[in-house]
Amino acid sequence: MLQKIHETAQWLKEKMTTHPETAIILGTGLGQLATEITDTYIFEYKDIPNFPLSTVEGHSGKLIFGKLGGKDIMAMQGRFHFYEGYSMKEVTFPIRVMYELGIKTLFVSNAAGCMNPDFHVGDLVIIKDHINMFPEHPLRGQNIPTGPRFPDMHETYDPALISAAKMIAEEKGILLREGVYMGVQGPTFETPAEYVMYRRMGADCVGMSTVPEVIVAHHCGIRVFGISIVTDLGIEGQAIEVSHEEVQIAANKAQPLMTEIMREMIKRA
């Protein structure tokens, strides 16, 4: 595992002409940000040694290097989900490589169902903490010595970055919520009873990504900032049917605000 990480990082380092300390996972709602990256050079996942291959046909996935908000950045276009059949090691492999490349701050986004009755579809929710419900832990197995065997998980979502986001939102008049994200394996959306259970367990939002990558980033000492877009509601007594299409439509609508916040965050990071 370690050797593969080194090999991949070395392959990239030999080709890189910039030294980014900021990485972005272009999850749902951040696709547009990719079009704002300038001075780009790009590697398709299929050409990068040891990188997992995307299961979605016609979308190999790309690592995009370039400039955004005056900063060198690297961006993952296309992420690996546990429900697609990837192992946790594969899901989090790119994060291990990011660490080797010198990444210090990671920005992530996702689409999420929402159980908090005060939130609405289209709301942006700063992830202040998470609950890991994935059936396999991404740090299971021999400890990779970027961090301890038993890592502390307080302040996994960097408080200074959260404060910065709140300031930016206030300046720009954007409503930003704050909540706990529950990471689940999917691919089913929740039953009404599951939404109720997750709410009682202390979560505001639920989704099928992010938690594995964030755990590994934290184990590598990478600062993390994440935002969920509420794409559907699982509120007790009013849970309604949800489809992938509805999730996409809601995410696309909220995209401009998400892009604005993240662009500004990267500038100031």
Binding site for ligand HPA (CB under 6 A): 111-113, 186, 189-190, 206-208, 231-232, 234, 242, 247
Closest CB to ligand HPA among 122 and 147?
122
b/e per residue 184-211 (b: at least 16 CB within 10 A): bebeebbeeebbbebbeeebbbbbbbbb
Is residue 124 within 8 Å of 178, Cβ to Cβ?
no
DSSP string for residues in 77-123: ES---GGGT--HHHHHHHHHHHHHHT--EEEEEEEEEE--TT--TT-
Q: Nearest CA to 51 among 17, 77, 19?
A: 77
Inter-CA distances, 149 with 143, 152, 211, 224, Å: 6, 10, 18, 20
Closest CB to ligand HPA among 73 and 230?
230
Q: Which residue is nearest to ligand HPA (CB)?
A: 113
Residue with tokens 């192992």: 87
CA within 13 Å, CB half, 255: 17
Closest CB to ligand HPA among 10 and 191?
191
What is the nearest approach in angstroms of ligand HPA to the Cβ of residue 175?
Answer: 19
Closest CB to ligand HPA among 213 and 232?
232
What is the nearest approach in angstroms of ligand HPA to the Cβ of residue 191?
Answer: 11
What is the nearest approach in angstroms of ligand HPA to the Cβ of residue 6?
Answer: 34
What is the nearest approach in angstroms of ligand HPA to the Cβ of residue 250?
Answer: 9
Closest CB to ligand HPA among 215 and 250?
250
What is the nearest approach in angstroms of ligand HPA to the Cβ of residue 29?
Answer: 11
Torsion of CA 156, 61, 268, 99, to 10 degrees: 50
Closest CB to ligand HPA among 18 and 188?
188
What is the nearest approach in angstroms of ligand HPA to the Cβ of residue 228?
Answer: 9
- DSSP three-state, residue 172: helix
Q: What is the DSSP letter of 139?
A: T
